[in-house]
Amino acid sequence: MSLKSLLPAARNRVVGRAELRPFAALQRKIDRLFDDFARGFQAFGFAAADLAPTMDVAQTDKEIDVTVELPGLEEKDVQIHIADNVLTMHGEKRADKQEKDENYRLLERSYGAFSRTVELPDGANPEAIRATIKGVLKVTVPKPAPAQVKKIELKTAA
């Protein structure tokens, strides 16, 4: 006698153990909900990564250059701070677009805040940091002088 003959007759019935994790189905549904939500942003022409401005960090022998793309922003829109060797750049972009015609009126507003941080090497001098903006924020941080190595003579104790 086989195991199949002992089971009740039913079409398309799957025999298996019950789910060992009681919330697994709920977790799958929530994951699918968030995936669908994120896909909706791509339909509007931007993804979640587009909310933060792009940033490049490059270094030479003498300095560290931080470049952040901030089109449309001016000096009054951006703040730069340094504390505990962490350089923080933040600001807010506000854009209003208005069109009027005989048959329609279009008004679009967009607002967005951003914040980017860069950890600087120990010994960076906050007074020597320079920053400029014209569509692109460029922050130049002079590298600190390398630590001086001094040899200490060892004498025999008496």
| DSSP secondary structure string for all residues of 40-98 | HHHHTT--GGGGSPPEEEEE-SSEEEEEEE-TT--GGGEEEEEETTEEEEEEEEEEEEE
β-strands 63-69, 136-142: how paired?
A: antiparallel
Ranges of the chain whose pLDDT falls below 70: 1-19, 40-51
Number of domains in the chain: 2
Predicted TM-score (pTM) of this structure: 0.56
pLDDT of residue 79: 93
- Domain coverage including residue 97: 52-142
Same-domain status, 86 and 76: yes
pLDDT of residue 7: 55
Same-domain status, 96 and 30: no
CATH number for 111: 2.60.40.790
Evaluate whether residue 9 is within a structural domain: no
Same-domain status, 86 and 67: yes
pLDDT tens-place string over residues 17-30: 555 777 888 888 88
Same-domain status, 130 and 59: yes
The residue assigned the tokens 């929530």 is: 30
Are 4 and 13 spatial neighbours (Cβ–Cβ below 8 Å)? no
pLDDT of residue 42: 57
